[in-house]
Structures are given as structure tokens and as C-alpha cells.
Chains A and B, each alone.
Chain A
Amino acid sequence: MPAQVITITSGKGGVGKTTAVANLAVALASDGAKVVCIDGDIGLRNLDVILGLENRIVYDIVDVIEGRCRLRQAMIRDKKLPELYLIPAAQTRDKNAVSPSDMNRLVKELRNDFDFVLIDSPAGIERGFKNAIAPADRVLVITNPEVSAVRDADRVIGILEAEEKGPGALIINRLNPSLVKNHDMLSADDVLDLLAVELIGIVPEDENVIIGSNRGAPVAFDPKSRAGQAFRNIAKRLRGEKVPFLDLDHTEGLWQRLQRLAGRK
């Protein structure tokens, strides 16, 4: 079966695109899928760092496109997951080194050998973004529960509709249930109310995400992390499984939980 090509984008920077790509790639590959991720953020590459593969880069995507190496030579195999590969971005070039048709050609070459091609889009709605969405079968829009991030996500969804890439599915990242409870943060419902698209996952705020990123070991590897669990669930949904959403309202203490389990509440 040819690969599903999924681009992750957001409009706004810093909402967690790269982290999401790394974690979804890890979750899918841990589940036995053949996955290749492409870092589309040429000039500001990060995905290699988060996957902990920085020191293995020899060739990058621009080398492939400009014919300095074969595609296979630029693909870096993950340390732990033999079915996970990364095609890194070039750090010394800019977005104009690649065109949407280059991306289409490159992805076409990968389609038959993988189950998933994940593309990490740069922030913004310019050339790099256009490159990243060009080959996509499906686009995941990621946002934080913040007004400015949601505004940008709305703009991106509008562009996706105009470019006939579908409305995309939404990941709400870094939701903090206790802030939502005090009305200090937009709730998932507030966000969905405005964006009116399909929700594919809610990832709770979790400090392990940052720790994992810094160590080059995405949280999806960590069976105890709630954010890791959320990413693993999204990966399952991408494979067509029905997975219930996490119960994020997890603020009750042990005593309340015991009471509830004992049927006293």
C-alpha cells in the first residue's frame, strides 16, 4: 500500500509542529509502521535535534534535490527504531532552494517504500509552507489554546481549503486543564467552536516533552508520559483506529478517586 503523506503545520511558530512530527513518527514506528519524516524547515532545522540524530547528518534534502546525492544517502535511520528515517533540512540554505514540485517529486519516490511520510512544515504561510503542503494527502494543523495561535490556525485552514488540501484535522497542543478550569485558558471546545474542523488529538501540557526534546528522545517513547500517550493515540487515529480521547480532567486526588471507585461519589 502506498504511503500516507501527512504534513504538520500551524501558521504560528513555537506551537509544537516539530515536536509533534517527532512524536508521531516515533509512535507510528514503534507500532511497526515504516515511517520517514522530512524536515521542511530549511535554514532552521530542528527535527534532527529532537530525534537525537543531529550528529549523523551527512547529506540533506537540498543535496538530494540538487542532485549531489541519492535519496537513500540522505535518509538517516533512527538509533532505536529501524523502520524510522529522517531526511534532514539544509541549515545553510533557505526555503527558496526547494520548490513545491521538487517536494512532489521527492515524496513520490518515497511513497512505495513507506507507510507514512511525515512532513514538518516551517512557520508562516510563505514558500516553505507551500513546499510542505504540496505533496500532502492529509494536513494536521496544530495549535495551542491561545488566541493568537488559534487565529493563525484559522488562516492556515482557510488557505488549505483554497488549495484544495481539505480543511485538515486539528491537534490542540499544550492544554493545561487546571488553567481551563479557572477560565484562564481557552478550552478545547472554545478552539473547536471557532475553527470548526475535525479534532484528531488533544495533547496536555507536560514538562516531559521539553525534557525529551532536549535529550533527543521524544516523549512518545515514555509509557508513563500523558503527552506521550496523547501522541500515541493520535498515531493510532492516523492508522484509522477509533481511540477515545484522554480524560484530561485529571485534577482529582487519590482519595477522591478511591471514593469514586468505591461508588461513594
Chain B
Amino acid sequence: MNETNSLIQIKGLRDGLLVSLDDAPWDVQRVALLAQVDGQPAFFQGARLALDVASQVLHVNDLVDLRDQLSERGISLWAVISESPTTEKTAQLLGLATRISKPRPEEGRKFAVDDLGEETALFLSRTLRSGTRIEFAGHIVIWGDVNPGAEIIAEGNVIIWGRLRGMVHAGAKGNRNAVVCALDLSPTQLRIADEVSAVLKPRESPKPEIARINKDGKLQSEFWSPG
């Protein structure tokens, strides 16, 4: 027991616990960590855990397994800090933070929506740059531009008070009534439910526009007009 404990260091942080592992094989580390947790269930119950895995190279399965095993014990894994770019990428893929000073709430993470049902919206007031992916199980409202290379995936509608030049998928779970509105609707690709549009040409002088699936089942966009 003592031997396994020496692999793991635990530190309290402002917003949870930081567990540092050393470079021993991953399976050994994982078993040691879980043993530690099971040894002091009261201490760990309900904790938010950040994991520093040094230079371990971890793949999706490794982290998913650990996350599940921790959550069975009432512990939520929210960050994985690593020097290995592969591990960082894995963590980002799973929506885990990769630095602890600041969790990244909206980058590459799926938001959990519970009680409000379909009428929930996510409001973001910033420019979404290339490489950002926002997924949400409701509507998405963006006050800012969506640049080429950014992706927005909503189960409901997507409303953009700004320029849309990235990729948008509204009604991602199959809602064919979903719409996409933007002040300048020039996406690289637009999808509603399972319809995919070809490229919309950038407008010379953009006007507010709404895209939806029309009666014939085709994607169509039209300019907004008052009244």
C-alpha cells in the first residue's frame, strides 16, 4: 500500500483536488489511484478532480475508463493536465479542461441540460474562431461572428447576431423545423437535420437571412423583412 501511495500526490486547490501521477505505467497508476480513493471514501466523495499525468500518453479509452470508474465513486474528473500533446488532445476530445487555472467551459464541450427541456438556449457573446466547436442540446445564440473553421452544432435553432462564415448544424438530432438565422448568412456549410446545403455565396451587401427546410424538403434561405 505504501508503495503504491508514493506514486500519487494529492493537493487541494481552490476548486477541487489536484492529483499528480508520476511516470509509472498507466495501469499501475490507475489501480493505485482507485485504491487511494477506496481507502478514504469520505474524503473523496463528491470531489472535483484534476489529474496531472506528467508525460503519460493516454488515449480516449484510458481516460474514459478512469472517468467512469471515478464517477461510480462519486468523483468528477474535470481536468487532465499533461505534457503529452496526444493526452491533451484526448482530454480536449472528452471535453475535459487541460489547464487548471481556468476550465474552458465552451470549447469542445457538450453542455448538460437537464430540466428546461427543448427550450434551453446557450448564449455566447464572443467571436468563435477557427477550431472552436460548440455543441449544445438546445438552441444556440451567438452575439459575435462565427469565423470559417468554427463549428456549431445545436439540437434546436441557431441564431447569430453577426456574420456566419463557419459550419452550422441546426436540428442536429433530426428536428426538421429548426432554423438558422444570421445577419450575414455566408456559412462554409449549413446543415439542418439531415439536409446539407452546398456553399452559399458570400453576399456583396449582406442582409439578415433565415435558412430552413421548405415544403419540398429542400434547404432554402430567404432575406428577413420586417412585418
Contact = CB atoms under 8 A, between A and B. Distances in A.
A194 B147 contact: yes
Nearest to A100: B83
Interface string A192-230: 001010000000000000000000000000000000000
Interface in A66-122: 99
Contacts of B149: 151, 154-155
Contact size range, B: 10 to 19
Interface string B102-143: 101001000000000000000000011111100000000000
Contacts of A164: 101-102
A154 B85 contact: no
Most buried by A among B131, B149, B165: B131
Given A126-B85, A127-B85, A164-B102, A159 B147 contact: no
B67 interface: no
Contact of A151 (B102, B107, B132, B148): B148
B145 interface: yes
Interface string A146-167: 0000011011011101111000
B78 to A, nearest CB: 16
Interface hub of B104, B127, B145 (most chain A Cβ within 10 A): B127
Contacts of B147: 154, 194
Nearest to B131: A155
A265 B72 CA distance: 80
A152 B131 CA distance: 9
Interface of A: 99, 126-127, 151-152, 154-155, 157-159, 161-164, 194, 196
5 contacts: A127-B85, A151-B148, A154-B148, A155-B129, A196-B127
